[in-house]
A and B are shown apart, each in its own frame.
Chain A
Amino acid sequence: MGINVSTIQLGGCSGCHVSILDIGKDLFKGGINIVHSYLLMDKVTATIEAETDILIIEGAILTNRDEDLVKCMAPHAKKVVAIGSCACFGGIACLGNLETPFRPQKGDFNKSDHKLHPLVCSPKAFIDVDYFISGCPPPANVIRDVLFALVEGKPVPEIAHTVCDECDRERTGEPPPIPPGGKWKTALDEAPDPKKCFLEQGYLCLGRQTIGGCNASCIKANMPCEGCRGPILLHRGFKKFTDEEKKEILRCLK
């Protein structure tokens, strides 16, 4: 009984798997059978052919093996869920593309099956992803809501509000001023006032643009929003991304 879930990790930090575990005891009780997860079990207990209903993907495509793995696993699954900003947009892993392309030096290990991918990118370039749960990592309650909606066959909840909507700091209502010379305060300056809006105090906070759902938890701990869940304009809630990004990645790879 229940629904079979497989999780795989590509180039990432395991943080999203940790966030899945943060769901806690519910994860092991509520009709979810984890049939393949290298972090939780040895793979002899489950092979790739195991019947997978939901495939959860963490991380960005970093090696050729990653590309093969998603192409091999995704067709077996009824629904594919990308969790974490690396799997959704490329995230931190993709920052490595900015400076120089990945080019191993002479004498470095770079075997064929683990060869560095020409472009670090989100797995959505190669497979169809049904749901995107962004965040670095996504909060456990958001993952739980999506997972249990899929288990119970209910519609997956959509998030169409920003972190700013969830924040309860005092605001004057005026558009936040841009500090003189564009010099925002940084982490080096004094600690911000815990009650007032960060932007009005001169700290750069990305809450106005960022997808909500995290209950503005960082802001409540007096930390400006880092925008880890990605911009709200790119997608609303967990709906599909546009095909434009996919085309762009494939164009770069040519």
Chain B
Amino acid sequence: MSKVITIDNVARLEGHASVTLYLDKDGGVEKAEYLATEPSRGFDIIFKGKHASEVPMLAARICGICYTAHNICACKALEDAWETPIPDSAKKIRELLLFANTLASHALHTFFLAGPGLLIEGANTIADLQKKYPDFPEAGIELRMIGQQISEIIAGRKVHTTIAVPGGVLGVLEQEKQDNIMKLLDSASEPIEIMEDYSHRILSDRKDYMLSFGMIETHFLALKQSKRLELYDNPIELLMKNGKVDILTPTQILERITEEKKDYSYVRHPYITDLGSDNGQFRTGALARIQEDASWDNPTFHEFKKIFGTFTQSTMGYDIARVAEMVECIKGMKNIIKSGLDKDIKNVAHQKDGIGVAVVEAPRGLLLHQYEIDSEGIVRKARVIAPTTFHQGSIERSTFEAAKIVLNGKKGKCSDEEKIKIEQAIRAYDPCMSCAGATQLRVIKKPI
């Protein structure tokens, strides 16, 4: 090993992460390490000893981007422990929130974070993008605001929505609010067209790049999809490399994975235990969802299937799958509101001792919460595994593949422009480091 290259504090992702590349004496990349440099804020410790009714509110604070998913997943886990059903309208309101949050998160990522580097090779700010394609950032801001405003209409606030509680939700969605949401959704048609145009442009201009950059082989884990985007409740599917499909329960996920401690990162690297750490890597998120039997109907989805095929391992496919999902989010919200909502939104939850575990699809992939509660309703143990935690190993491998392509023939030199190009492979996963380290540092070693 003759040289070490460090990409310190990778920009345009949520939280802090660095990359270390080890080069041999000819300048070839030997190894890549992905460092989560943000320590855990210790949410397992924060939850411990608190009454379970406070947990969904605190859980939302794990992440400033996918707060809705954490809030709802904590509620689902508590409802699992207490065997509390929720009214139909409450489920619909939770789905609306998840769709709105996914739309805002994907718009933020597609336009502000990944967008500049995808449309113009090596570009790194929204300002670079604005010079060449002035309408794209505008559409991105607009689309994001639509998602955030829908959250605000439902939950009263744009960030850290905590309207979901064990047993349902707190606020009724009156007719006036429904009309306002519909108005917002109708105004989304123009920016979403610009968005689809954008993904079409990337696919036609940089097809080879999109197919091959940072490609690795992994399994996929996501909720089974249908004719619509399923984020809240459906069986979990593990799609293996060889095309085999396993149906898992949330508890089975915990039983089948091992979290490997790394001495260079605050976040552990999970893998499927019986397949080993090399073969057992799996990915979740947009790329996994689009491959789990999704049969959506929008132009970007069809284009994705045409170019990437029915089964793909292309990492950059994430960015296109996100655009297809944004269209589905808007459709999904419209359908929920058309199906009608009533005033029955909350069941009384009766606390008892037990273990509750649940998953939802967060914007970045499968999110898992597990709580052990005593008869007084006090949380004894808590565990959160966020999608970015699942992705740690995959991100590291994709970085390695990307670095090999970018640094090929550079004789060990790595300028700032090349670093930005390598970072693009990391950004495809839209990693959220504040989620990834939610409970990692002092996590209980075996499933509780």
List residues of A whose CB falls within 8 A of some B CB: 9, 11-19, 21-22, 24-25, 28, 38-45, 62-63, 65, 92-93, 95-96, 98-100, 102, 104-105, 107-109, 111, 114, 116, 120, 136-137, 139-140, 186-192, 194, 214, 217-223, 226, 228
Contacts and interface: CB of A to CB of B under 8 A. Distances in A.
A17 B160 CA distance: 12
29 contacts: A13-B67, A15-B160, A18-B64, A19-B159, A21-B108, A24-B145, A28-B137, A41-B125, A42-B124, A43-B11, A44-B416, A63-B39, A92-B61, A99-B42, A99-B45, A99-B46, A99-B49, A104-B441, A108-B266, A136-B61, A140-B158, A188-B53, A188-B348, A188-B377, A191-B170, A191-B171, A220-B156, A223-B163, A226-B57
Q: Which of A105, A109, A116, A136 has the most CB of B within 10 A?
A: A109
B152 interface: yes
Given A187-B165, A194-B171, A102 B155 contact: no
B159 A187 contact: no
A214 B42 CA distance: 28
A17 B64 contact: yes
A192 B170 contact: yes
B11 A41 contact: yes
B265 A109 contact: yes
A25 B11 contact: no
Given A14-B14, A192-B170, A223-B170, A96 B46 contact: yes
Interface of B: 9, 11-16, 35, 37-39, 41-42, 45-46, 48-49, 51-54, 56-58, 61-65, 67, 108, 112-113, 124-127, 137-138, 141, 144-145, 148, 152, 154-160, 162-163, 165-168, 170-172, 261-266, 345-346, 348-351, 377, 416, 419-420, 423, 432, 434, 441-442
A222 B172 contact: yes
Contacts of B108: 18, 21
Contacts of A17: 64
A13 B62 contact: yes
Nearest to B127: A41
Nearest to A214: B157
Given A96-B46, A114-B39, A221-B163, A13 B348 contact: no
Given A62-B41, A102-B42, A217 B56 contact: no
Contacts of B51: 186
B14 A39 contact: yes
A226 B61 CA distance: 12
B171 A11 contact: no
A107 B260 CA distance: 11
Contact of A187 (B15, B56, B113, B264): B56
A45 B158 CA distance: 30
Contact of A223 (B9, B46, B155): B155
Contacts of B165: 187-188
A129 to B, nearest CB: 20
Contacts of B263: 107, 109
